Structure 1
Amino acid sequence: MDEGLISRRYAKALLKFAQDRGTTDQIYEEVKKFEENFVSHPELQKALLNPVLSAKDKESLLAAAVGVAPGEDYLRFVRLVIHNRREAYIRSIYLMYQELYRELKQIAQVRIITAMELNEEAIGKIKSLILQKAGQEVEFIHEVDPSIIGGFIVRVDSMQLDASVNKELKLLRLKLLNSKKQL
């Protein structure tokens, strides 16, 4: 079965369950925290795929991956996923849940990528500018990527504004290469 299909079905079921129980916001925060820990601890994926680990150990591992004491609805979903032997898909399920949640709540995700860490004042100015233009609730993520050399990249959902030095250098290189071909 297709991973995307499995993830989407489980995420939709989790969202529906959370809506019925009134815990959509709590589960959203828990799966975001799980994602942060999953990315920062790559050995978590290996442990989940380990056939030697018992279901109880995997449940404890997924509960600990949230970083705080998870809610009962989160734990019930984890048990369901483990019972159905779908723990390999847990990250993609949670990513899909986040996407469905943001779609439901009409939250735009804005990712700001800069070459170096920005101070809170600069981030605040960028956030206020985007909030004025967005006209809806916005969730901000700031990342540092030294490979862009300077400038910034702003991604709003699937749209991107690339004002990085790296992009400008690539465009300049292409122009130079094209001008050489014409000579």
Structure 2
Amino acid sequence: MNEGLIPNRYAKALYKYAQEHGVAEAIYEEMKRLDDAFKAHPEFSKVLGNPALSPSDKVRVLSSAFGEKPDDYLLRFVQLVIKNRRETFVRSIGLAYQDIYRRANHIARVTITTATALNKEVLGRIGDLMKKQTDKTLEFVYEIDPTLIGGFILRVDSMQLDASVNSELKKLRLKLLNSK
């Protein structure tokens, strides 16, 4: 079965259920925390895929990934996913849920990656410029990547503007190699 199909089906079902019970935004925030936990602790995927771990232990592991105690709606969903042996898809389900929620609520995710930390004034100006360009609600994510050397990478949903020094050096290298 297509790996994108399973997470999307579960995410759609969770979103519909969350809307009916008025907890869509709360679950969206929980799914962002879950993704952060998977980024911080990549071993979560291995633990969830371990067949020797009991379903109740997997529920406890996933509950701890949400940080504090997840609400009952989310806990029941986690139990359903584990009962159906889809626990290896939990992160993908969370990401798919976030995408569905953002599309439904007209939210664009803006990721700004720089080589060093920017001060709040510069980030505020970038945010103001981005808000003028769209009628969507913007959700900002700031990342630091020292390999960029300088400059920045700006991603808005699936579009990307790469104005990093590292990117320019790669372009220059290709140009020099192709000019021989």
* TM-score w.r.t. length of structure 1: 0.95
The whole-number CA distance in structure 2 between the counterparts of 1:99 and 1:64 is: 23
More divergent stretch after superposition (11-20 vs 46-55): 46-55
Q: Is 1:6 the equivalent of 2:13?
A: no
The runs of at least 4 aligned residues of structure 1 exceeding 4 Å deviation read none
For residue 160 of structure 1, give the secondary structure of its aligned residue in structure 2: strand
Q: 2:179 corresponds to which residue?
A: 179
**2:56 pairs with 1:51:** no
Aligned to 1:85: 85
Residue 155 of structure 1: aligned partner = 155
What is the rounded CA distance, in whole Å, between the counterparts of 1:67 and 1:128 in structure 2?
32
Cα deviation for residue 175 of structure 1 reads 2.0
Please state whether the residue corresponding to 2:153 is helix, strand or coil. Answer: strand
Superposition CA RMSD, Å: 1.0
Instruction: Name the SS for the 1:36 alignment partner.
Output: helix
Measured after TM superposition, the shift of residue 178 of structure 1 is 2.5
Matches within 5 A, 1:85-104: 85-104=85-104
- Counterparts of 2:70 and 2:119 in 1: how far apart (Å)? 32
Percentage of pairs with the same residue: 56
CA distance in 1, matches of 2:50, 2:119: 42
The one-letter code sitting in structure 1 at the alignment partner of 2:132 is Q
Return the alpha-carbon distance in structure 1 between the equivalents of residues 78 and 175 of structure 2. 53
Tell me the distance in 2 between the aligned counterparts of 1:167 and 1:64. Answer: 39
Q: Shift of the alpha carbon at 1:174?
A: 2.0
What is the CA-CA distance between 1:116 and the residue it aligns to? Answer: 1.0
Query: Does 1:134 find its partner at 2:165?
Result: no
Q: Secondary structure at the match of 1:3?
A: coil
What amino acid sits opposite 2:83 in the alignment? H
Secondary structure of 2:47's partner? helix
Structure 2 unpaired stretches of 5+: none
In the comparison of the two structures, how many residue pairs are matched?
180
Structure 1 CA distance for aligned equivalents of residues 170 and 42 of structure 2: 32
Q: What TM-score do the two structures reach when normalised by structure 2? A: 0.97
C-alpha offsets along residues 26-71 of structure 1, whole Å, 9 cap, x if unaligned? 0000010010011101121111111121111111111111112211
